[in-house]
Amino acid sequence: MSQMTVSEAVLSRRSIRAFKPDAVPLEVLQRVMDKARWAPSGCNFQPWEATILTGAPLAELQAKMLVSPLQDPLEYSWSQPEAIPECKARLQQVGKAMYQAMAIERADGDARADFVRNNASSFGAPAVLMCYFDRRMGSPQWSDTGMWLQTIMLLLREEGLDSCPQEFLAMHARLIKDFIGVSDETHIFFCGMAIGYRVEDASVNGFPREREPVDGNVRFLGF
């Protein structure tokens, strides 16, 4: 079988919310992480840090999250773009498509809440990457960390694996940091990333998504 191209990895990557229980081999994750460290970062700061959990430690942490209240105050806020009409419309589109795919009605608050709680168990993924970095890092380093995470997700696709980045887990940031032995005083928790193999026929893994056309947010000058 020929190796996946970058284009194929980009176009086949999506946030997976139903995973098979199949374990992810450590050597595969080590190979991915070894390649991902070559992601770009301003001034070569390489701000990213992570812990990857599986098995008993992951199950123990998830059990703690499931019975713990969400963090207050939040580690950080990601909701400000909802004030921009086009951003809110994009959020509403993907949410509507996802819940329709699962046949969950808008008025069914209990079913929606149950699905949201699945974030704590990372949708059944057998491995979860927890990403954090030094609190002295500024917004450029947040961006660098995002490029590193995207590099990881594309490399996972090359290995036949899938992922789901989870900012939701920042709502348990202090609990997670305490569990994995990272100082809340010195570090901010960014996100989790569920890692595993997708359930191919799960409706939540195949609903239609929309993206802006290129000319909606990119201009070409001087060509």
- In degrees and rounded to multiples of 5, residue 8 shows phi and psi of -65, -40
**pLDDT tens per residue across span 71-111:** 999 999 988 999 999 999 999 999 999 999 999 998 998 88
Confidence tier at 114 by pLDDT (50, 70, 90): confident
pLDDT of residue 113: 86
Position 144 scores a pLDDT of 98
For domain 6-77+119-205, give its CATH number from 3.30.70.2700, 3.40.190.170, 3.40.50.300, 3.40.109.10.
Answer: 3.40.109.10
Is residue 65 within 8 A of residue 175, CB to CB? The reply is: yes
Query: What is the 8-class DSSP label of residue 70?
Result: P
Q: How many Cα atoms are found within 13 Å in the side-chain-facing hemisphere of 174? A: 11
Q: Considering only CA atoms, which of 74, 76, 77, 173 is closest in space to residue 120?
A: 173
Residue 35 and residue 38: Cα distance in Å, rounded?
6
Task: Round the average pLDDT of the chain to a whole number and report it.
Answer: 96
Write the burial class of residue 125 (CB in 10 Å: 0-12 exposed, 13-18 middle, 19+ buried). Answer: buried
- Sign of the dihedral through C-alpha 38, 61, 169, 209: positive
Rounded to an integer, the average pLDDT of 39-55 is 98
1-11 confidence digits (pLDDT tens): 568 999 999 99
Q: Max CA-CA distance within the chain?
A: 57
What would the mean pLDDT of 24-43 be, rounded to a whole number? 98
Judged against a pLDDT cut of 90, whether residue 50 lies above it is answered with: yes
Could you tell me the pLDDT band of residue 207, with boundaries at 50, 70 and 90? very high
Domain boundaries, the chain: 6-77+119-205
